[in-house]
């Protein structure tokens, strides 16, 4: 299939600027469409094209003291962005579903205290419309990777989007989901590998580190790794994070909680601020060896 930049298909007309033949079904996310790596920048903090970004914070926003304390800690250890769930998709309808609008208010308080841009998930188009101005990077979770109405809606915004790979999605399906966003005009997309579902029971999911070089080969979009959701156990997060940096990832997404044993969600896989700081010392060393700069 030939892709014409101005959507005019006659090659003999002078108005045509460029035609490229791209064999894969994903066109705009394809490196053949854009050779240079995409860099996503928010408030002077970047991910991609030689810039390594660390997104960190609790799975769920629980209180003002919790989110502000965690934000100050991760900021001091070199994180570039603050993550925190206000709207939480949970397997059980009886589990904590997040503080919703109040959670976003608390995230803004943490941003005011630290300057860290906010990364948080939205699950519905209406939620996106209601809270777009309060979010710096819109997260689309694994369960919504193929929610096409939501993908098209974020594609019509001017906000960066962090797209997580679905738990059973192929790499092609992952890139096709990103294609929905780019096809609507938003090219500020960060891909996130967070583990896929396999037969293995010793980890929550199976982290597919091979997705990094494969996506680097076929796409210009930055890819980050979420070892917290991939392993489901704080004991394994550091080793997988370091492996991801060495494999060429453009960033990490790490769950950090100031009291993991009493977290309302995903406490088992959350690092303490102290453990996060110890990990960041090693991360920074490997980032430099890979020829990239932190933040």
Same domain, 290 and 233: yes
Tokens of 274: 């102290």
Same domain, 53 and 183: yes
Tokens of 11: 């090659």
Same domain, 64 and 88: yes
Same domain, 119 and 25: no
Residue 289: which residues within 8 A CB-CB, separation 6 or more? Answer: none
Per-residue model confidence (pLDDT) at position 12: 58
How big is the chain by its Cα radius of gyration, in Å?
19
pLDDT tens for residues 139-166?
Answer: 999 999 999 999 999 999 999 999 999 9
Same domain, 61 and 45: yes
Total residue length of the chain? 295
Q: Are strands 19-21 and 51-57 parallel, antiparallel or unpaired?
A: unpaired
The CATH number of the domain where 126 resides is what? 3.20.20.70
Report the chain's mean pLDDT, rounded to a whole number. 94
DSSP SS3 for 187: coil
Same domain, 106 and 163: yes
Per-residue model confidence (pLDDT) at position 15: 72
Instruction: Tell me which residue range forms the domain holding 147.
Output: 36-294
Q: Are strands 81-83 and 51-57 parallel, antiparallel or unpaired?
A: parallel
Residue with tokens 């990094």: 212
Same domain, 210 and 267: yes
Same domain, 275 and 130: yes
Same domain, 46 and 152: yes
Phi, psi of 106 (to 5 degrees): -70, -35
When divided into structural domains, the chain yields a total of 2
Same domain, 13 and 129: no
Same domain, 23 and 121: no
Same domain, 203 and 266: yes
Q: What is the mean pLDDT of residues 158-175?
A: 98
213 vs 228: CA distance, rounded Å? 20
**Closest by alpha carbon to 85, among 68, 104, 66?**
104
**pLDDT confidence band for 14 (50 / 70 / 90):** low
**pLDDT confidence band for 23 (50 / 70 / 90):** confident
């Amino acid at each position: 299939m030939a892709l014409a930049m101005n959507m005019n298909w006659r090659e003999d007309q002078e108005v045509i600027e460029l035609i490229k033949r791209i064999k894969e079904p994903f066109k705009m996310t394809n490196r053949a469409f854009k050779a240079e790596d995409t860099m996503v920048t928010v408030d002077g903090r970047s991910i991609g094209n030689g810039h390594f970004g660390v997104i960190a914070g609790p799975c769920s926003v629980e209180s003002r003291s919790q989110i502000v304390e965690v934000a100050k800690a991760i900021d001091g250890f070199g994180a570039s962005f603050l993550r925190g769930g206000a709207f939480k998709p949970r397997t059980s309808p009886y589990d904590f579903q997040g503080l919703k609008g109040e959670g976003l208010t608390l995230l803004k308080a943490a941003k005011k205290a630290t300057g860290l841009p906010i990364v948080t998930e939205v699950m519905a188009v209406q939620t996106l419309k209601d809270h777009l101005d309060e979010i710096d990077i819109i997260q689309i979770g694994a369960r919504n990777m193929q929610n096409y109405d939501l993908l098209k809606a974020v594609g019509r915004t001017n906000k960066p989007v962090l797209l997580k790979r679905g738990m059973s999605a192929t790499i092609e399906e992952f890139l096709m989901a990103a294609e929905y966003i780019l096809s609507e005009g938003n090219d500020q997309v960060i891909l996130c590998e967070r583990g896929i579902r396999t037969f293995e029971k010793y980890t929550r999911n199976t982290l597919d580190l091979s997705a990094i070089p494969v996506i680097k080969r076929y796409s210009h979009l930055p890819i980050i790794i979420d070892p917290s959701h991939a392993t489901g156990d704080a004991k394994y997060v550091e080793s997988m994070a370091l492996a991801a940096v060495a494999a060429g990832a453009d960033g990490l997404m790490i769950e950090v909680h100031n009291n993991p044993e009493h977290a309302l969600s995903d406490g088992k896989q959350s690092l303490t601020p102290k453990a996060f700081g110890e990990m960041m010392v090693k991360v920074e060393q490997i980032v430099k060896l890979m020829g990239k700069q932190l933040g």
